[in-house]
Structure 1
């Protein structure tokens, strides 16, 4: 088994992910939102790249709500922003969440040619590692990044997932995967590292400290959503409410 990391969604193409298990990470905040939504009883999450696509799908999908952001702010006319705290059981249980974000949903879409596409974050790092390891094939962790660029928050999450995979058995690591692992092992206080990230400061300036605190919790959920044919759901046997 070989583990690699893509530093942003813009670096992903079909050849990079073909034949591999993909774990898409957007810790601050899209993949955390997706995981939280399904934990709290959403039927599905439909990730899309544009606002126009989101509005079009809503017209033909039952029990649909709109969520997402542009420049870290709620999109006008949408039901929810990109804050995981808004996706409570009372708000989204039984709903189909149509989600569009600047980076995360694009990274998911670009990863579609992998053997399977799992949704990961710090909140489910151990579960994502366990599920990916169970397929016994090469793994690539796709960091969503910010505007096509490297992000520290996704990188340290990748390191956390790599460490959890290695706890289950040996694996060959690419140089970038080794570096992410070293970063994680050197910064067990994840916030002390992530606070230096540009995207962290953007959220902090917007007074989204509660979102940051929530997203930087490790292993609070044991589910691993999977993206398939344009929709993210829990696979059979996973329990949404812990």
Structure 2
């Protein structure tokens, strides 16, 4: 049964990449979200001055691309994870706290993760692909304010619906309502209710971080000793910038603020 609404001033939510046929995203604006941790880490990297990011599906592909770009003279870093942990031989893992200006400013980052980069591949036929997380929620909403045909694509966790991505989708929908954009399918209604049911206390940094710890994604991050990452990703509206995956050359770059700033909201 098709539960989507025909109104173009709506946003549809897809709780897993495999649940949306490729043709449904064609020509639309897609927000890819993997709160724990790929989309949050990409915002951190762009804020810290990373020049460009190339997402890759598989580890061998990432290694080969990094070698090719290095041979062409680029200053390249390899970043990412498998099973949550850094990949052997890579420069960086998937913790946003690793992506400081000292490490990434002016660099080309080749990046691969278990869930997030796979979600990006699902959006290959879209008109635009934006990267969203709690830390840049309001900036993403402003980018979408005049946009018709919006989809939020949640990465999930190992093929399962994730609590943290669903909460972010609800938080983004709340922001979009200020621009006259409403829920466009049942999944959007569900995540909107989930976010609202947190209450005011649950939307503070401490309250949101506590909630994120209970999901499977949060438990995975705690298991590998990166609980501090949960506190970091729970900083709602920290940055006024939006990474965008430019489909013509498959690189992620910043949009939304002047490139000479870190995009941090004062």
Matches of 1:202 and 1:228 in 2, distance apart?
30
1:228 deviates by 1.4
1:191 deviates by 2.8
Matches of 1:84 and 1:10 in 2, distance apart?
26
1:238 deviates by 3.8
Residue 225 (str. 1) matches residue 254 (str. 2):
no
Aligned positions of 1:37-116 closer than 5 A = 37-61=45-69, 62-116=74-128
Residue 202 (str. 1) matches residue 220 (str. 2):
yes
Contact 1:17 1:113 in 2 (8 A): yes
TM-score by length of structure 1 reads: 0.95
Residue 147 (str. 1) matches residue 177 (str. 2):
no
Residue 173 (str. 1) matches residue 193 (str. 2):
no
Contact 2:157 2:216 in 1 (8 A): no
2:171 to 139, 144, 160: 160
Contact 1:184 1:190 in 2 (8 A): no
- Cα RMSD of the aligned pairs, angstroms, is 1.4
> Residues 170 and 38 of structure 1: is their aligned pair in 2 closer, same or farther, counting only changes over 3 Å?
closer
Contact 2:242 2:256 in 1 (8 A): no
Matches of 2:138 and 2:161 in 1, distance apart?
23
1:236 deviates by 7.7
Where in structure 2 are there 5+ consecutive unaligned residues? Answer: 1-8
TM-score by length of structure 2 reads: 0.87
Residue 23 (str. 1) matches residue 36 (str. 2):
no
* Aligned residue pairs, count: 241
The C-alpha deviation readout for 1:129-158, integer Å capped at 9, x for no partner, is: 1102222x1111000001221000000000
